[in-house]
């Protein structure tokens, strides 16, 4: 809670700075503990210590500069109605993230879990693309909703969905194309061989999740947290049923399809309910242009035989693929002068802390 205080106050750069500081401190603490011969338990306590230290520091800063806020007793009922539905949502989200691995462990054994986890880990960076916008999104949406400024919300989501689409399309297809050399770098040849077919399934699920995550801020802003809880719980039930049905017959692919199906259910439920509150435009033209540019990029990469090792092949694919993709987008008119100006301003502001 304390770590989110700067973001709640609109101090986005300070919030990002605190997050970076936390990551650096955690890595440093773990490095020192393990170099001194500490075990996993000591590492966990080190991470806990970093969290306690940072939270205490932020709490002290807030107390010195603002004092402790007085609880508004008359709003306790409102807080309970808002917060209680998020408990099953949080529990279901945690289970949804890992329950497929438990089923694989129970039904197939530990080795398939390792293969499955490697393939999943490769695909997760797609979701992080929306994290570029998350620092400012929730305060912006919550404030605009309180002020009744729905046009700001609509524009914000049109902006986020357009730029996420531009970044996620080549990222998703690119990960599929470089999956084999990447998996060969981070694992063994045998693990890579079995993990590669899972990557397209995972990619599609995480691609949808990238759209789903920002939409939840609409529902939290309008205090429809119960809807989030119901959607996540139903998605978990779908995952459980499909895992029990598909893993015995399809193995690793069955678990991946179960996860994709559950994520699809969650995405369409959240999208449908969010549209009831805010009618923002889906960037259909951008979707078409990105599809065209992605196809061109994929054809170029498949025709060219780049690199003579997994590492060089992956790096060259990323470079050539990225250049060809954005060149096609530019040529077919996706980027305007306003887009270029906006990117330049964002880069300049990001360099000024």
- Check if the beta carbon of residue 185 is closer than 8 Å to that of residue 314: yes
Of 97-101, 105-109, 145-149, 201-205, give the lowest mean pLDDT range.
Answer: 145-149
CA distances from 295 to 125, 169, 173, 340 (A): 21, 10, 9, 24
Distance (Å, whole) CA 23 – CA 20: 5
Distance (Å, whole) CA 53 – CA 24: 13
Question: What are 63-72's pLDDT values in tens digits?
Answer: 777 666 666 6
**Percent of the chain having pLDDT more than 70?**
82
- Please compute the mean of the pLDDT values over residues 225-251 and round it to a whole number: 89
- Check if the beta carbon of residue 102 is closer than 8 Å to that of residue 255: no
How does residue 353 score in pLDDT terms, banded at 50, 70 and 90?
very low
* First-to-last C-alpha distance (Å) of the chain: 23
Question: What are 275-302's pLDDT values in tens digits?
Answer: 888 888 888 899 999 999 999 998 888 8
- Check if the beta carbon of residue 156 is closer than 8 Å to that of residue 140: yes
Q: Which of 218, 223, 230 is nearest to 79 (CA)?
A: 223
- Please compute the mean of the pLDDT values over residues 200-216 and round it to a whole number: 88
Q: Which of 262, 266, 234, 210 is nearest to 100 (CA)?
A: 262
What's the pLDDT score for residue 202?
A: 92
- Please compute the mean of the pLDDT values over residues 258-281 and round it to a whole number: 88
What's the pLDDT score for residue 228?
A: 83
**Burial class of residue 37, CB neighbours in 10 A (0-12, 13-18, 19+):** exposed
- Check if the beta carbon of residue 218 is closer than 8 Å to that of residue 141: yes
Structure-block tokens of residue 100: 């497929």
What's the pLDDT score for residue 260?
A: 92
How does residue 143 score in pLDDT terms, banded at 50, 70 and 90?
confident
Higher per-residue confidence, 258 vs 348: 258
- Please compute the mean of the pLDDT values over residues 226-252 and round it to a whole number: 90
Question: What are 8-34's pLDDT values in tens digits?
Answer: 666 666 766 777 788 788 878 878 887
Of 79-88, 101-110, 166-175, 240-249, give the lowest mean pLDDT range.
Answer: 79-88
pLDDT at 350 over 70: no
What letter does residue 198 receive in the DSSP assignment? Answer: G
- Check if the beta carbon of residue 344 is closer than 8 Å to that of residue 296: no
Q: What is the mean pLDDT of the chain?
A: 81
- Please compute the mean of the pLDDT values over residues 48-55 and round it to a whole number: 83
What letter does residue 308 receive in the DSSP assignment? Answer: S
Q: What is the dihedral of CA 284, 127, 268, 156, to 10 degrees?
A: -50
Task: Describe the crossing of helices 86-107 and 252-277 by its angle, rounded to 10 degrees.
Answer: 170
Question: What are 76-133's pLDDT values in tens digits?
Answer: 666 676 666 667 667 777 777 788 888 898 888 888 888 898 888 888 888 777 766 6
């Amino acid at each position: 809670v304390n770590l989110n205080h700067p973001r709640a106050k609109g101090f986005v750069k300070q919030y990002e700075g605190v997050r970076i500081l936390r990551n650096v401190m955690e890595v440093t603490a773990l490095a020192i503990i393990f170099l001194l011969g500490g075990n996993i338990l000591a590492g966990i306590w080190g991470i806990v210590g970093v969290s306690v230290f940072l939270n205490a520091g932020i709490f002290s800063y807030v107390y010195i500069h603002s004092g402790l806020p007085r609880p508004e007793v008359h709003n306790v009922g409102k807080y309970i109605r808002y917060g209680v539905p998020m408990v099953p949502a949080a529990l279901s989200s945690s289970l949804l993230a890992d329950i497929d691995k438990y089923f694989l462990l129970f039904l197939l054994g530990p080795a398939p879990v390792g293969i499955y986890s490697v393939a999943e880990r490769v695909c997760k960076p797609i979701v992080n693309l929306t994290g570029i916008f998350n620092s400012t999104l929730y305060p912006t949406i919550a404030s605009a909703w309180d002020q009744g400024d729905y046009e700001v919300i609509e524009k914000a989501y049109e902006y986020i969905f357009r730029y996420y689409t531009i970044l996620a399309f080549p990222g998703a297809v690119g990960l599929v194309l470089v999956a084999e050399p990447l998996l060969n770098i981070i694992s063994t040849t045998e693990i890579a061989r079995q993990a590669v077919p899972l990557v397209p399934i995972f990619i599609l699920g995480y691609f949808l999740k990238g759209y789903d995550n920002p939409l939840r801020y609409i529902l939290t802003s309008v205090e429809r947290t119960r809807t989030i809880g119901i959607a996540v719980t139903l998605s978990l039930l779908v995952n459980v049923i499909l895992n029990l049905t598909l893993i015995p017959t399809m193995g690793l692919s069955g678990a991946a399809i179960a996860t994709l199906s559950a994520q699809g259910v969650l995405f369409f439920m959240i999208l449908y309910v969010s549209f009831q509150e805010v009618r923002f435009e889906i960037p259909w033209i951008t979707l078409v242009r990105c599809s065209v540019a992605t196809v061109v990029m994929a054809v170029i990469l498949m025709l060219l035989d780049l690199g003579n090792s997994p590492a060089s092949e992956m790096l060259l694919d990323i470079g050539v693929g990225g250049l060809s993709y954005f060149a096609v987008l530019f040529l077919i008119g996706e980027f305007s002068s306003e887009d270029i100006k906006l990117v330049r301003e964002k880069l300049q502001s990001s360099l000024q802390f």
